[in-house]
Structure 1
Amino acid sequence: MIRVLLADDQALVRGALASMLRLEPDLEVVAELGDGTEVLPAARRTAPDVALLDVQMPGRDGLAVAAELRHALPSCRVIICTTFSRPGYLSRAMSAGAAGYVVKDSRPEQLVNAIRRVHAGLRFVDPALAAESLASGASPLTDREADVLRAAAEGGTVADIARTVGLSEGTVRNHLSSAIGKTQARTRAEAARIAETNGWL
């Protein structure tokens, strides 16, 4: 049996996924969670072979949880299962240690196939997203530029952003200017929106 942990903040989606997976003779759902902070304790308790994680969850997002699982329970393989078919998210998921990436509008058999492949030590990435990711390339933003844009997306002045990220106002202005240029945006708000849409933040 392949032991599967599910984490998705939408109860209906989580329940539907669990019901679907329980129809498979070789899959056992050992935990269903709605908050990212619950995943690691539940994984330690239930010892899943595969963790199926949404990207956006309260507490801790799926990408952060994937990195935690990689370090704490390296035998547990991670698949990101999300509505966000963004190349940037795919790249960040793989960097965090995920072995698979499936979008929620995939066919059920594709998700089941992904679980089996990942459990066997292979990788699985939604084919359309993989092609799009290759075409668009990696994020052009440095880590610091991404941090500054994340803070800028919350609003506030340059001084507010500088306090949030722990940089001088001049350095923040430089990072904002660079990020605006790299995203071909007109304003920092537009740059943040473009970066978010591409999954770079």
Structure 2
Amino acid sequence: MIRLLLADDQALVRGALAALLDLEPDLEVVAQVGRGDEVVAAARDSAAEVCLLDIEMPGASGLEAAEELRRELPQVRSLIVTTFGRPGYVRRALDAGAAGFVVKDTPARQLADAVRRVHQGLRVVDPDLAAESLMDGASPLTARERELLALALNGSAVSAIARQVHLSEGTVRNHLSAAIGKTGATTRAEAARIAQERGWL
């Protein structure tokens, strides 16, 4: 039996995934959590072998949880299962240590097969997203530019962002200006939106 942990902040989705996967004769859901920062402890306690992680969760994202799993429990494999099929997320997930990336509308049989393949040590990526990810290339943004664009998403003023990250307003403007250029946008709000849509934030 392959022991599975499900991490998704929506109880209904978690329950549906558990019900589908438990129908498979060789898969067993041994733990469920609703927060990203609960994944490693639950994986350790349940002796899970594969963790299915949503991306957007409270406490920590699925990408952060995958990275922590790789560091703390390297024998445990992680598979991102998300609604957010953004090409940039694929590259970030694989960089974080995830062994696979599929979207939630993947048919149940294919999801079960993805779990088995990940368990065997293989990589599994939704083919359409893989192709898009290759065409889009890696994110051109630096870590600082991503951080500042994420803060700009809610429309914060440069002065407010500067205070929050303890940088001068001029430095913040320079980073945001570079990010605007790299995304081909004309405003920081547009740059933030483009970066979010591509999965770079």
TM-score by length of 1: 0.97
- 1:82 corresponds in structure 2 to 82
- 1:99 corresponds in structure 2 to 99
User: Aligned partner of 1:170: which letter?
Assistant: G
Aligned pairs for 1:134-153 within 5 A: 134-153=134-153
Cα distance, 1:163 vs structure 2: 2.1
- 1:10 corresponds in structure 2 to 10
CA–CA distance in structure 2, aligned partners of residues 130 and 157 of structure 1: 36
Q: Are 1:154 and 2:179 an aligned pair?
A: no
CA–CA distance in structure 1, aligned partners of residues 161 and 199 of structure 2: 21
Runs of 5+ consecutive residues of structure 2 not aligned to the other structure:
none
RMSD: 1.0
CA–CA distance in structure 2, aligned partners of residues 81 and 163 of structure 1: 36
- 2:166 corresponds in structure 1 to 166
| 1:22-66, Cα deviation, whole Å (9 max, x unpaired) | 011110100011111221211110111100000001111101111
Moved over 6 A (4+): none
User: Aligned partner of 1:15: which letter?
Assistant: G
SS in 1 for 2:140: coil
CA–CA distance in structure 2, aligned partners of residues 166 and 115 of structure 1: 43
Q: Which moved more, 1:157-166 or 1:78-87?
A: 157-166
- 1:30 corresponds in structure 2 to 30
CA–CA distance in structure 1, aligned partners of residues 167 and 109 of structure 2: 48
Q: Are 1:179 and 2:179 an aligned pair?
A: yes
Equivalent pairs counted in the alignment come to 201
Runs of 5+ consecutive residues of structure 1 not aligned to the other structure:
none
Cα distance, 1:155 vs structure 2: 2.7
- 1:120 corresponds in structure 2 to 120
| 1:140-186, Cα deviation, whole Å (9 max, x unpaired) | 11111111111111332212111222322111111111111111112
Q: Are 1:195 and 2:195 an aligned pair?
A: yes
Q: Is the 8 A contact 1:35 1:60 kept in 2?
A: yes
Cα distance, 1:86 vs structure 2: 0.6
TM-score by length of 2: 0.97
CA–CA distance in structure 1, aligned partners of residues 173 and 188 of structure 2: 10
CA–CA distance in structure 1, aligned partners of residues 37 and 173 of structure 2: 34
SS in 2 for 1:4: strand
- 2:62 corresponds in structure 1 to 62
